[in-house]
């Protein structure tokens, strides 16, 4: 595990890179390492991990081997890069800093185009059969049979296979969010994020925010040293990536993230911010996934799409609703439903995500609650039911909340950017806003489910139930 140049330069969204192209991606952990002059940590282990009862773990492993190709077909077939084209029809592909409902150049940065042009092979993590990762390579040449392959960098750049390939988040954050439809430029930028160690989401959104400020006259050549990128500017996007990683020129300002940059710019720049608690939104449109929006607002680390629930997966009967049925049965619900039933579903699923994080289980595995509870029981020798697993997740969330309260955060920080609380005026999401009242009602009901006050503070009774008694003292 190592930090790259960006971590050494304390870029606030620098990440920790493992095995050259795997990232502990968000929250600036690379900057933490860099601030301590810690370049890398190497661990070499030879011991096999003990398992208490293989009669309980083996059936879970066999179930995955027998079912992953169908239960996780999306990951097996395309991986996350399929998101560009699949999210476009529902206006859920973030475009131009979340300001537009449709990106005309989506085909040119799509996973389908990547697969037929520069994809070299698929890759996977240790011992995983799903193979959801991409390995891309470009060493020159055109693709005349691909009508959507347009690039200003044909025969001008090379993309190295050693750095793997992009996920959906990168195709969108450095592509559509910046208005860039140049496949080679986006993939070269992705290579740089791995080479220099940066979170591609915050990177792309900070660049996109800068582009919007330039567009609206809030940044001048004098302020930026002549660097004035605008949406659709692939060269400007690539230059910004290099400037930020090395804190060169105006890159030193962008390296502190969009929120601090807005504070420096002033003059109303904050109206273009798309962040929560200082962390830029991931590439999932909260107007199209409204419980996810509540999750963005309430996640302890700021806007996050992994410790969250994606509404579109619960709009029809299927594996997601079947999974939750282990603790509570739900009917399918619309993407813009934020009523009590939806928030109860959200409560269970977000606790589940935190629990699987604690267990170091990949979110892409198609396990249900009972599988992970049974595996945990088999490994540890203790009996866990699905409800126990969710309690672990709730305990983790509550501990994070206590930490944030101690550091000065409050319910006022559990909010969404103004931009995404306004509806688009066209497309499938026309008039589908998360209004402030709708948001507060949903958020406050989730507080209640978590055993928190309407100020977002865990009650002593819930802390005792979770085995966290006394931790509120001196905090709130």
Report the Cα 72 to chain-centroid distance in Å: 19
pLDDT at residue number 475:
84
Q: In this structure, are residues 314 and 321 in contact, taking their beta carbons and an 8 Å threshold?
A: yes
Is 90 exceeded by the pLDDT of residue 199? yes
Kindly state the percentage of the chain with pLDDT values over 70: 100
Domain boundary assignment for the chain:
93-280, 290-465
Nearest to 476 by CA among 392, 401, 393, 391: 401
Q: Could you report the per-residue pLDDT of 124-171, keeping only the tens digit for each? A: 998 899 999 999 999 999 998 899 998 999 999 999 999 999 999 999
Q: Please report the pLDDT score of residue 423 as a whole number.
A: 96
Task: Check pLDDT > 80 for residue 476.
Answer: no
Is residue 348 within 8 A of residue 20, CB to CB? The reply is: no
> Which sign, positive or negative, has the C-alpha torsion 309, 435, 330, 394?
positive
pLDDT given at position 144: 86
pLDDT confidence of residue 198: 98
Q: 290-465: which CATH topology?
A: 1.10.599
pLDDT at 474: 83
Whether the per-residue pLDDT at 31 is higher than 90: the answer is yes
Q: What is the mean pLDDT of the chain?
A: 97
Give the separation between CA 201 and CA 179, rounded to whole angstroms.
14
pLDDT of residue 266: 98
Looking at the chain, the whole-number percentage of residues with pLDDT higher than 90 is 95
CATH architecture for the domain at 93-280: Orthogonal Bundle (1.10)
Q: For residue 468, what are its two tokens?
A: 């966290």
pTM of the model: 0.96
Q: Which residues contact 334 (CB under 8 A, 6 or more apart)?
A: 311, 315
Q: What pLDDT, on the 0 to 100 scale, is given for residue 286?
A: 98
Task: Quote the CA–CA distance of 411 and 457 in Å, as a whole number.
Answer: 8
Q: Is the pLDDT of residue 467 over 90?
A: yes
Q: Is the pLDDT of residue 406 over 80?
A: yes
What is the Cα–Cα distance from 343 to 309, expressed in whole angstroms?
Answer: 10
Report the distance separating Cα 421 and Cα 185, nearest Å: 31
């Amino acid at each position: 595990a190592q930090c790259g140049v960006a971590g050494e330069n304390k870029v606030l969204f620098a990440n920790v890179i493992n095995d050259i192209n795997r990232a502990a991606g968000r929250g600036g952990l690379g900057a933490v390492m860099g601030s301590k002059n810690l370049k890398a940590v190497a661990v070499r282990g030879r011991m096999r991990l003990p398992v208490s009862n293989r009669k309980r773990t083996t059936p879970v492993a066999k179930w995955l081997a027998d079912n992953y190709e169908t239960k996780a077909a999306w990951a097996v077939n395309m991986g996350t890069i399929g998101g560009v084209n699949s999210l476009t029809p529902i206006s859920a592909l973030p475009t131009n800093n979340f300001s537009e409902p449709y990106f005309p150049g989506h085909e040119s940065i799509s996973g389908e185009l990547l697969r037929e042009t520069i994809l070299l092979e698929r890759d996977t993590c240790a011992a995983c059969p799903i193979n959801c990762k991409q390995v891309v390579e470009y060493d020159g040449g055109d693709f005349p049979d691909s009508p959507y392959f347009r690039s200003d960098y044909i025969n001008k750049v090379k993309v190295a296979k050693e750095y793997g390939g992009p996920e959906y988040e990168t195709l969108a954050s450095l592509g559509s969010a910046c208005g860039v439809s140049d496949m080679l430029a986006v993939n070269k930028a992705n290579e740089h994020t791995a080479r220099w160690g940066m979170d591609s989401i915050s990177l792309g959104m900070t660049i996109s925010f800068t582009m919007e400020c330039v567009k609206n006259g809030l940044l001048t050549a004098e302020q930026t040293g002549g660097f004035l990128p605008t949406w659709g500017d692939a060269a400007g996007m690539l230059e910004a990536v290099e400037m930020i990683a090395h804190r060169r020129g105006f890159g030193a300002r962008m390296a502190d993230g969009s929120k601090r940059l807005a504070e420096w710019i002033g003059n109303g720049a904050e109206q273009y911010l798309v962040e929560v608690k200082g962390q830029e939104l991931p590439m999932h449109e909260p107007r199209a996934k409204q419980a996810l929006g509540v999750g963005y607002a309430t996640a302890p680390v700021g806007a996050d799409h992994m410790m969250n629930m994606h509404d579109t997966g619960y709009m029809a009967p299927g594996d997601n609703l079947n999974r939750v049925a282990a603790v509570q049965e739900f009917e399918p619900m619309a993407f813009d439903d934020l009523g009590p039933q939806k928030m109860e579903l959200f409560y269970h699923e977000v606790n589940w995500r935190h629990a699987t994080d604690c267990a170091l289980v990949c979110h892409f595995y198609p396990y249900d609650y009972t599988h992970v509870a049974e595996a945990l029981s088999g490994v540890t020798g203790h009996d866990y039911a699905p409800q126990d697993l969710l309690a672990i997740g709730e305990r983790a969330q509550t501990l994070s909340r206590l930490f944030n309260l101690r550091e000065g955060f409050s319910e006022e920080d559990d909010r969404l950017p103004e931009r995404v609380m306004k509806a688009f005026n066209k497309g499938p999401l026309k008039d589908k806003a998360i209004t402030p009242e709708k948001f507060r009602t949903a958020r406050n009901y989730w507080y209640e489910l978590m055993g928190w006050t309407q100020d977002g503070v865990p009650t002593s009774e819930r802390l005792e139930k979770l085995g966290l008694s006394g931790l509120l003292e001196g905090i709130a």
